[in-house]
Structure 1
Amino acid sequence: MQIQDDYELLDSGNGQKLERFGTVILARPCAQAVWEPSQPALWESASATFDRKDGLNWHGRERLPEEWIVTVRGVRMRLSTTDFGHLGIFPETLDLWQWIAGAVRQGAVAHGEAPRFLNLFAYSGGATLAAALAGAQCCHLDASKGMVEWARGNAALNGLEDSGTRFIVDDVSAFLKREVRRGRKYDCVLLDPPSFGRGKRGELYKVEKNVQETLDLVRQVLSDTPLFVILTSHTPGFSPIVLRNLLEQTFGKGTLTCGEMLLHGGQEVLDLPSGTWGRWEANKSQI
């Protein structure tokens, strides 16, 4: 089933969000949507719903295609429902994809060559593919073999199977330490560390304990002409200022910005915050 429609937030409220992915409309939990829905009748159009009331439950999952394809921000992505309620895309990151693509194009002009982009905790590859389509040399890393294969399949959907993108299944810390020893460098880095996770060999990752070490390793693999480092988070308490402070302490002088990741809909639809981001950009004198 192939669909050529963008993502859209249709409504939110009462602890839920209503989203359209192509022709598939889904209602899923969203704790921060504490207000009332703006369009209650619209929720009846949901193709399926997911909740966590008594475990993890899809309702109407049998009505959904086993998988389908959407195009968002010029990137084609394969979607499929998972037992945890995920689909293979986090729409709140779409604005970051667009910014990364623009920064890669500008960096190519400034450097005279394709920037080297590293995506850590990279999931199904949306940001990697946005960067690759913009001309970056990409390295995509995740500890889940299944997610890396999903990302590799998405690359093929975008005609990027021969782009030279490196798809790697590994623990982030182990990978970065090897890259430091090898002297391999990157011009741009995106990382979305989990609140809690395990690496390829069961290595435990807790963001409060490990994020500083991860950032220190990222600093060691940055090139002499870096473009940016973006840190994102869905961890409660990791506000935009927390991310900005971490980046400033680790990478020093540069342009620092931060904010909330948002789900967007039509003009009458309330923006829905879903995580935070911080960005460090090198000063032009550093490029």
Structure 2
Amino acid sequence: MQLLFPRHWQDYELIDSGDFQKLERFGKYTLIRPEPQAIWKKKLSDDEWKKQASAVFVRDSAKARKSSREDEGWTYSQKLNHRWPLKYRYKDMQLTMSLQFTSFGHVGVFPEQAENWDFIYDTVKAWPEPGKVLNLFAYTGGSSLAARAAGSEVTHVDAVKNMITWSNDNQQASGLKDIRWVVEDALKFVKREVKRGKQYNGIILDPPAYGRGPDGEKWVIEESLTELMELCSQLLAPRQAFLVLNMYSMGLSALVSANLVESFFQPDNMQFGEFYLPSTSGQRLPLGTFLRFTR
């Protein structure tokens, strides 16, 4: 197993973590957000955290559900723009993500995933033809943008319409176009593509632990992921292909991904392990497992 972290961020920085929180800089703003895995002590003082923070998020699910404010849960130390750009550069890939404060504490990017963006971009660029890439549970589209920037024909699937709108904003901000947007349950979409005999050169999966499709379809990762991976094995091209699988469910080892993938694929050059973010104060914050392979 490997431990990997993104090496090319300039607009993002994990400053410190501990006491179930993290202090992060996203472009021009520095934020304090909850972090359930940061059970250690902070390196910096509380006063230093407060001094640096532009905004603080405190999770209160019941209050957020009752509120009509999209940014419920945030307090601000100054007047801020509630949307702001975050840039990412790697080789000839130039991405711009439009960030915003949300009632669930996210801002629209998972910085550790930049390591996958580089992998996707390099893999597609090395092919004679850029092929077709499918991104499932695609969120705000960082991986979709990376594949499109490399020249691939990209299909981006997410069950939440607002995420598709956000992803399209990111596409435009990045100077890209022609990503195919699909608002649908991932498992339902893949079943239909298999029936149609479709194939993709790249498949990216970032499944949640639990979720609902646009028509109320139930997703539980332990119950549904095996079926989805079997179907993906029928969609993935036999050559000039890659697969990326991320999992954020606490308690599911990277070995789970490895055993699952080996049940349905014959992967070459398979990597699996954990992503983490190094902080400038010295800790390493674990942020989910990854698996990826090419063939």
Structure 1 residue 278, shift from structure 2 partner:
1.3
1:259 aligned onto 2:273: yes
State the alpha-carbon separation in 2 of the partners of residues 147 and 269 from structure 1.
34
TM-score (norm 1): 0.89
Partner of 1:35: 40
1:149 aligned onto 2:165: yes
Selected match of 2:124 from 104, 110, 116: 104
1:51 aligned onto 2:58: yes
Q: How does 1:186-225 map to 2 (within 5 A)?
A: 186-225=200-239
Q: Is the 8 A contact 1:190 1:231 kept in 2?
A: yes
Q: Is the 8 A contact 1:11 1:265 kept in 2?
A: yes
Partner of 2:283: 270
TM-score (norm 2): 0.87
Q: Is the 8 A contact 1:9 1:269 kept in 2?
A: no
1:128 aligned onto 2:144: yes
State the alpha-carbon separation in 2 of the partners of residues 253 and 130 from structure 1.
22
1:79 aligned onto 2:86: no
- Which range is displaced more, 207-216 or 234-243? 234-243
More contact order relative to length (CA 8 Å, sep ≥ 6): 2
Q: Aligned pairs, how many?
A: 272
Structure 1 residue 54, shift from structure 2 partner:
7.6
Q: Is the 8 A contact 1:48 1:63 kept in 2?
A: no
Partner of 1:9: 14
SS in 2 for 1:63: coil
- Which range is displaced more, 49-58 or 82-91? 49-58
Gaps in structure 2 of 5+ consecutive residues: 1-8, 65-72
1:93 aligned onto 2:113: yes
Partner of 2:153: 137
Q: Is the 8 A contact 2:274 2:290 kept in 1?
A: yes
Structure 1 residue 99, shift from structure 2 partner:
1.4
Q: How does 1:158-169 map to 2 (within 5 A)?
A: 158-161=174-177, 164-169=178-183
Question: Percent of aligned positions with the same letter in both sequences?
Answer: 40
- Which range is displaced more, 271-280 or 25-34? 271-280
1:176 aligned onto 2:183: no
State the alpha-carbon separation in 1 of the partners of residues 109 and 268 from structure 2.
30
State the one-letter code of the partner of 2:58. D
Structure 1 residue 208, shift from structure 2 partner:
0.3
State the one-letter code of the partner of 2:43. S
Structure 1 residue 252, shift from structure 2 partner:
2.7
- Which range is displaced more, 33-42 or 166-175? 33-42
Aligned-pair Cα RMSD in Å: 1.8
State the one-letter code of the partner of 2:119. W
- Which range is displaced more, 60-69 or 204-213? 60-69
Partner of 1:280: 293
State the alpha-carbon separation in 2 of the partners of residues 274 and 149 from structure 1.
26
Structure 1 residues 281, 39: CA separation in 2 closer, same or farther (over 3 Å shift)? Answer: same
Structure 1 residue 151, shift from structure 2 partner:
0.4
Q: Is the 8 A contact 1:247 1:279 kept in 2?
A: no
State the one-letter code of the partner of 2:49. W
Q: How does 1:228-247 map to 2 (within 5 A)?
A: 228-247=242-261
State the alpha-carbon separation in 1 of the partners of residues 261 and 77 from structure 2.
41
State the alpha-carbon separation in 1 of the partners of residues 273 and 110 from structure 2.
17
State the one-letter code of the partner of 2:96. R
State the one-letter code of the partner of 1:43. W
State the alpha-carbon separation in 2 of the partners of residues 64 and 220 from structure 1.
48
Q: Is the 8 A contact 1:260 1:276 kept in 2?
A: yes
Structure 1 residues 61, 241: CA separation in 2 closer, same or farther (over 3 Å shift)? Answer: farther
